[in-house]
Chains A and B, each alone.
Chain A
């Protein structure tokens, strides 16, 4: 199956800082989702993005399917951004999750 690599695995930020999370995948994909898993374990949808760039408030995502990667940008980070960020590329009818980037935002 597809290999999904996320980097960095861990990230600690001061509140207000910006960051970029990366998702590399080894195969052609039909679509891709980004999720935030909060400290209570709930997976929250961030972006549904097969290609191009989308923005939602302080977050934006870019997927370059031809080069097999996606990026998640977080600007002006807040403590509530803490948690684990997962990308999940879609191959066929199945989503494959990476191991995530664990983000801690300190006040």
Chain B
């Protein structure tokens, strides 16, 4: 069974440029999470989807960040415009649901560098 797939693995951009990250969760997983991980820290939740609905986006900086999961499967996270402080690893995770079967599985992450 394939794990969580993310692309690209690495991205280097200049500040003020837009950037997008893509995630394909484990087949059959209804819940999808986007996390941000700064160096030396644990992951922090940005947004959680139940199928196509964003049920928790309270920690997503909505002035520059947006996300979508249009068909309830894969998801895209976008930053526009990127700032120097956005340099971090962006992790995607999925679980069967967020209630009884909520064990999370993570993708390899996208390492973003903003110059």
Docked complex Cα distance between A82 and B48 (Å): 30
Residue from the list A31, A33, A43, A100 in contact with B91, Cβ < 8 A: A43
Asked whether B45 is an interface residue with its Cβ less than 8 Å from the other chain, the reply is yes
Check if B108 sits within 8 Å of A41, measured CB to CB. yes
Q: Chain A residues with Cβ under 8 A from B56's Cβ?
A: 93-94
Check if A42 sits within 8 Å of B40, measured CB to CB. no
Q: Chain A residues with Cβ under 8 A from B48's Cβ?
A: 93-94
Q: Chain A residues with Cβ under 8 A from B89's Cβ?
A: 41
Docked complex Cα distance between A90 and B48 (Å): 14
Check if A95 sits within 8 Å of B111, measured CB to CB. no
Q: How large is the interface on B (under 10, 10 to 19, 20 to 34, 35 or more residues)?
A: 20 to 34
Docked complex Cα distance between A16 and B63 (Å): 50
Q: Chain B residues with Cβ under 8 A from A42's Cβ?
A: 106, 108-109
Asked whether B42 is an interface residue with its Cβ less than 8 Å from the other chain, the reply is yes
Q: Which residues, 78 to 115 on B, are CB-close (under 8 Å) to A? A: 89, 91, 93, 98-99, 102-106, 108-109, 111
Asked whether B8 is an interface residue with its Cβ less than 8 Å from the other chain, the reply is no
Asked whether A53 is an interface residue with its Cβ less than 8 Å from the other chain, the reply is no
Docked complex Cα distance between A100 and B45 (Å): 16
Check if B40 sits within 8 Å of A43, measured CB to CB. no
* Beta-carbon nearest neighbor of A45 in chain B: B105
* Beta-carbon nearest neighbor of A90 in chain B: B102
Q: Chain B residues with Cβ under 8 A from A43's Cβ?
A: 43, 91, 93, 106
Q: Give 28 CB contacts A-B under 8 Å.
A: A31-B102, A33-B104, A35-B106, A41-B89, A41-B108, A41-B109, A42-B106, A42-B109, A43-B43, A43-B93, A43-B106, A45-B103, A45-B104, A45-B105, A86-B42, A86-B43, A88-B42, A90-B102, A93-B48, A93-B56, A93-B98, A93-B99, A94-B45, A97-B42, A97-B43, A98-B42, A99-B40, A99-B42
Interface residues of A (CB under 8 A from B): 4, 31, 33, 35, 40-43, 45, 48, 86, 88, 90, 93-95, 97-100
Q: Give 9 closest A-B pairs by Cβ, nearest first.
A: A97-B42, A43-B106, A93-B98, A48-B103, A97-B43, A42-B108, A86-B42, A41-B109, A98-B42
